[in-house]
């Protein structure tokens, strides 16, 4: 079982909100970790968006709009990236990452389509 699991794709309408999930393997407690989120547009390198551990331990990358935010769902053992007020420019691949056993681990990515 993969350490981090993301749905491969998600579609949402302009102006709506999208919740992208990053589910941790069952033996890894999401409460422990900072979840890092990256956005990757076609032909470009990933860009750091934000990290979320709790409401008291979170960070928004410089220049990232506040309509991007992080959450956790402890019951699902998952981190969530919420994008509100979807715009066409938000169409991209989104990756989550954690640091596990002193090594980086990425999720498989979610392709977000805004249509």
Partner 1 sequence: QITLRESGPTLVTPTETLTLTCTFSGFSLNTRGVNVGWIRQPPGKALEWLGVIYWNDDKRYSPSLKSRLSITTDTSKNHVVLTMTNMDPVDTATYYCAHGTLYYEFWSGYDDNCFDPWGQGILVIVSS
Distances (CA, A) of 104 to 5, 24, 72: 14, 14, 19
Closer to partner 1 by Cβ: residue 15 or 31: 31
Site for partner 1 in 23-82 (CB under 8 A): 32-34, 36, 38, 40, 45-48, 51, 59, 61
Give the number of other Cβ atoms within 10 Å of residue 113's Cβ. 12
Q: Which part of the chain contacts partner 1 (CB under 8 A), choosing from 12-20, 66-74, 84-92, 105-113? A: 105-113
Least distance (Å) between residue 28 CB and partner 1: 13
In the 8-state DSSP scheme, what is residue 85? S
Residues that bind partner 1 (CB under 8 A): 32-34, 36, 38, 40, 45-48, 51, 59, 61, 95, 97-99, 102-109
């Amino acid at each position: 079982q993969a350490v981090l699991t993301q749905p491969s794709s998600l579609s949402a309408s302009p102006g709506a909100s999208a919740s992208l999930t990053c589910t941790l393997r069952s033996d890894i407690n999401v409460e422990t970790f900072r979840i890092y989120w990256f956005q990757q547009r076609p032909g470009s390198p990933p860009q750091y968006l934000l990290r979320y551990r709790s409401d008291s331990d979170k960070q928004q990358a410089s220049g990232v709009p506040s309509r991007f935010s992080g959450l956790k769902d402890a019951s699902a053992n998952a981190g969530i990236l919420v994008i509100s007020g979807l715009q066409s420019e938000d169409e991209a691949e989104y990756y989550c990452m954690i640091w596990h056993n002193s090594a980086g681990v990425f999720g498989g990515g979610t392709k977000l389509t805004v249509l």
